[in-house]
Structure 1
Amino acid sequence: MGLVLLARDSRASGIPQGRPAGASDVASLAPAEKTSAVRAATAGARRAHANHALEVEVESTKVESCGATASEPDAASDLVAIKVLKPNLLNDPCALACFGHEARLMRHLEHPNILQVISISENSTRPYLVVPYIEGGNLAHWTQHGRPLPTDLILKSVQQIAAALDYAHRRGITHRDLKPANVLLNADGRTFLADFGLSRTFFNDAVIDFGRAKGEGTAPYMSPAVARGEAEDTRCDIYSFGALLYEMLTGRPPFTGNTKDEVVKQVLAGPPSPILEINPRAPRGLVTVCEGAMGRELRGRYACMGDVLSDLALVSRGVKPAGAGSRCKQRKRLVDGRVFGATRQSLSVC
């Protein structure tokens, strides 16, 4: 799948026609290149359509986008991007199903840190999504230089990512492909979680497991259980969140290799090199959260993103986080206390 910078989102009476710069991630371009891409996308003949539909030729394939205007924008907030399916996947039933699944799912997720879907087309010619264009690009472009990110940026970003995941998890949805390329940042530091193509709805037992059909997740960020080919619940996202935080703190992924198989072997052998050995200046609180999120076994990992959010809130206030192990013990005492109380009450009734 690719992103094509296309248009200003409007309902103008005259709908111009243009030719995008191709199915590529325009967010990766330098500012001058972005401007050129926009101009290239808006060059060509223009004509109005009474039904406010836009015909755009994308890699020699015409698609329709209702209510989008391929004109040269004067405000970044007006830009939209078209996410299209790669030509070689158009005859792949699983890829088509995955694309449609993502489109419908994202349409129903409304959270300030989840990328919203503006428009959807699942036509057989070329299915696509229309989403807001996030000018800051994705997190992969920030981490590619091999240096740790500024602490303020890390803390602000991971709190927003955690909030988005917590929102999705509470609705029975797990992302399953959390990685830097799927985290977008705009100019004012707002973070957006994108690409739910491999997500799974746990409240629906009949849902197609697209991830297991196509290879779930991205190797450096997948949990050991997923790397072994096992099914895992929302806590696979918690591990991937930790791997993402690891890269932000160290400037490199937790596991690397020349091939996916090499990386998977490292994930299975784990754990990764200690963060403080790579970056002695890494904030201790964030290191604690990262280690708790990347627990290799579920008993050593945060139980839910709500716990992660609670610890991140402590870190933001300069307070030592409880950590995954401590929170698991607190949760067990709370559950045991409730069970004991209920048992004592039932005995007194008898």
Structure 2
Amino acid sequence: MDQLPRMLADRYEVGRLIGRGGMAQVYIAYDTRLSRTVAIKILRSDMATDDTFLARFRREAQSSAALNHPSIVAVYDTGEEDIQTNQGTITLPFIVMEYVNGQTVRDLLADGDPIPIDEAAHVAAGVLSALEYSHREGIIHRDIKPGNIMLTPDGSVKVMDFGIARALADAHSTVTQTNTVVGTAQYLSPEQARGEVVDTRSDLYSAGCLLYEMLTGKPPFTGDSAVSVAYQHVSEVPAPPSSVTADIPDNIDRVVLKALSKTREDRYQSAAEFRADLLSAVRGQAVGAPATTAYAVPAAAATAVLGAAAPGSIPTAASAHTGNYPPYETGQLPAQQQKSNNGWLWAVIVLLLAVLGFVAFQVFGNDDPPEEPTPSIELVQIPNLEGMNQQEVRNALAEQDLDMTIAEPVESDEIDAGLFVSANPPVGSQVEKGSSVEVTFSAGVGEATVPDVTGLSVEAARRAIEDEGLIWGTTTTVDNNPTYDEGEVVSSDPAPNSRVPRQTVVNVEVSSGRVTVPNLLTLNVDIATAELDARGLSYRIEPQETADATPDTVIGQDYREGSIVATGTQITITIAKAPPVTEEPTTEPPATPTPTPTPTPEPSDEPSESPSP
């Protein structure tokens, strides 16, 4: 990376390098304006010389900055900076992001050990929650992988790099000239490998690869090169996770393999559907994913072109053949194997003919009657099992000499958990005594998590709530909440992130964009302006001289107390100002002359003489 200035945009003080990738480098930085630590991602100089890419990167940076979700690393700001390089001055775009103090999922998987099922499901659910939100906003991530998932010390999941992968894919298609697949090869969807246009379901495939690696400790496909890994994504079905880690239940296998379906139509169609099935599997409830035996590679997929966007980048499936792959298409056997199969076919035909000949001889060629009559089959009726639990059903079937097998439980809004739902063959059927009956029991009403829709528009909130299997309820418009603009959801009942039965009604309160003017009279100007700030109101201060009120206190307001006004309305407040002090002139009385004191004769020791008579 070329030398960066110490300060970006006259605001961000750049610190040490904390991350490096194929597209950009990430630095820790300090926002001097808001006094907070941030992370700054700056594009590599060798990738910033393409004007088309720069324009797309800027648009995508703006889009990612609009994403506001607790499981997405927040983008605070974007900008550009002139950098001095060996080739001269170039303009590099940068993105200012939330600094997450934690570790990546890649760090957790560094030793090759799997993550416990509950923890893996928690991380995957957080990723899918973020994808559900971003997909609603029209943003496709395109690079979901362990290195882009952060875990905070309190267990929160944070998805990074929204928008950048999309901008890169737009500029460079899916493959570069050096066979580097955009979006790490181990987590690449088949359509990305084939150079096709991707959609939201491509992110879900990558999330399935992430979940697979967390459960098993390794990606679903590995190879010596990106070419071989990409070929496997297109043409091979991954081994079920339980074949790698034995304690993984069948329901988890089914969910993972559905997410990793080769065709988009066979995968989960939304992140919400994927997340709901995964959480049901972890709780031991029924899932919508089919059995693991249902997955196969379509013949068209096995022969599809990989990376058609860049000639010579990644060869077709046929031309990519090495000793590791069979030199024939799915469904086509080598001649030697076909010949071997034909031999077995003829052997089976000959054996069947011999058996049929023996049976025919016994029936038509032997005149002696059989020693014992053929035993008759005894049929019994499957009894009514309505309202019974597992033990009661088992006992009722045992009375008819029938065995019970238990099918996957199903959610039911009408039948309590643990009670009988259906039987196969159905109740009332005549079956052979001793046969087995498959019984399905209720899993009860399924649960859902109330999504956090605060700050969303009414329409976006409705979609988010209904996607979770919940019912949109009443919408109440409320005043006095300046945090949210008009039409944005303020709160929901039940509260966000609470677990509730499916089909629960969720009521929301929506901001009117209006607030009530408070009584400001007699308040100090600082307190009065703080009250207005708290309500999202602006203000103008007009001083007025008066000796009848304490200086700097409010003596008037143009909107009286209780008025309902739009947030941002300007309130004029009149503030008391002490009048100037007037000094009165002082008049001194005329000076009075000081009388001259009469000298007092001093007493004499000599006797006074009396006049002679």
* TM-score range relative to shorter protein: 0.5 to 0.7
Distance change >3 Å, CA 312–CA 277, structure 1 → 2: closer
Q: What is the match of residue 170 of structure 2?
A: 209
In structure 1, C-alpha distance between the alignment counterparts of 2:48 and 2:198, rounded to whole Å: 29
Q: CA deviation at 1:252?
A: 0.8
1:108 is aligned to 2:103: no
Say if 2:134 and 2:140, in contact at 8 Å, map to a contact too. yes
Deviates more, 1:113-122 or 1:191-200: 191-200
Rounded to whole Å, the distance in 1 between the matches of 2:219 and 2:276 is 25
Task: Sort the Cα spacing of 1:256 and 1:95 in 2 relative to 1 into closer, same or farther, 3 A.
Answer: farther
Q: Distance in 1 between matches of 2:143 and 2:170?
A: 13
Relative distance call for 1:86 and 1:276 in structure 2 (3 A) is: same
After the TM superposition, which residues 63-102 of structure 1 pair with which residues of structure 2 at under 5 Å, given as runs? 67=33, 79-102=37-60
- 2:196 corresponds, among 218, 230, 234, to 230
Distance change (3 Å), C-alpha of 1:24 and 1:314: closer
Match of 2:78 in 1: 120
Instruction: Letter of the 2:154 partner, please give it.
Output: D
5+ residue gaps, structure 2, are: 22-26, 83-90, 293-613
User: Does the residue aligned with 2:41 lie in a helix, a strand or coil?
Assistant: strand
TM superposition shift of 1:268: 2.1
Whole-angstrom distance in 1 between the partners of 2:186 and 2:74: 27
SS in 2 for 1:263: helix
Residue 139 (structure 1) shift: 1.4
Q: Is the 8 A contact 2:254 2:291 kept in 1?
A: no
Distance in 2, Cα, partners of 1:325 & 1:287: 9
- Does structure 1 residue 320 correspond to structure 2 residue 286? yes
> Structure 1 or 2: larger strand share?
2
> What aligned pairs does 1:187-266 form with structure 2 within 5 A after superposition?
187-196=153-162, 197-199=164-166, 209-210=170-171, 212=173, 216-266=182-232
Structure 1 residue ranges (4+ consecutive) displaced by more than 6 angstroms after TM superposition = none
TM-score (norm: length of structure 1)? 0.67
Q: CA deviation at 1:25?
A: 4.9
Give the structure 2 partner of residue 22 of structure 1: 17
| Farther-moved stretch of structure 1 (303-312 vs 116-125) | 116-125
Larger Rg: 2
Q: What do residues 60-96 of structure 1 show as CA deviations (whole Å, max 9, x unaligned)?
A: xxxxx66265xxxxxxxx5321111123223233553
Which residue of structure 2 aligns with residue 269 of structure 1? 235
Residue of structure 2 equivalent to 1:134 = 100
Larger RCO, structure (CA 8 Å, separation 6 or more): 1
Supply the RMSD in Å over aligned alpha carbons: 3.3
Amino acid at match of 2:19: S
Residue 296 of structure 1: how far off its partner (Å):
0.9
**Superposed CA offset, 1:251-301 (max 9, x none):** 111122232112112222212232111111124333222111111112321
Query: CA 1:154 to 1:211, structure 2 compared with 1: closer, same or farther past 3 Å?
Result: farther
Unaligned 5+ segments in structure 1 are 8-14, 27-36, 42-53, 55-64, 70-77, 201-206, 327-350
Per-residue CA deviations over 1:123-159 (Å, capped at 9, x if unaligned) read 4433211112212122111112111112222111111
The answer to whether the aligner puts 1:174 opposite 2:140 as a matched pair is yes
Q: CA deviation at 1:20?
A: 2.2
State the AA in 2 paired with 1:113: S
- Corresponding residue pairs, total: 268
TM-score for the superposition, normalised by structure 2: 0.40
**2:171 alignment partner AA:** F
- When residues 88 and 68 of structure 1 are mapped into structure 2, their CA distance, relative to the original with a 3 A threshold, is farther
Q: How many Å separate the matches in 1 of 2:54 and 2:259?
A: 33
